[in-house]
Amino acid sequence: MVTTTDLAMLYKCKNGTKSINLAVKRNLNRFPNDFYFQLTEEEINNIYSRFQIETLNKKQGYNIKYLPYAFTEQGIAILASVIHTEVAEEVSIKK
């Protein structure tokens, strides 16, 4: 399981997770429900214990505002073809 945060870093998206979320919204017909899903708060706390309320970081971009999405292997492959970064284009070509 790979989250939007992980993919934004991997694909070097200038706008971070916003780029990933917009790409998915613009191409919903390419992402069936079994290609991605939204994590619950409980799952986030289990994965990223640093995101609990008592440890919030005051710097911008360090706290979860929206629940992230997680992608399956098929979802990651489709995402590489719809994200417009150099890294994603290379990944898309090498499939």
Q: Is the pLDDT of residue 30 over 90?
A: yes
Write down the pLDDT at residue 51: 46
Write down the pLDDT at residue 13: 92
Q: Is the pLDDT of residue 92 over 80?
A: no
Q: Is the pLDDT of residue 52 over 80?
A: no
Q: Is the pLDDT of residue 20 over 70?
A: yes
Q: Is the pLDDT of residue 56 over 60?
A: no
Write down the pLDDT at residue 57: 53
Band of the pLDDT at 58, cuts 50, 70, 90? low
Write down the pLDDT at residue 28: 94
Give the mean pLDDT of the chain.
Answer: 82
Residue 71's φ and ψ, nearest 5 degrees, are: -120, 145
- Higher pLDDT pick, 1 / 62: 1
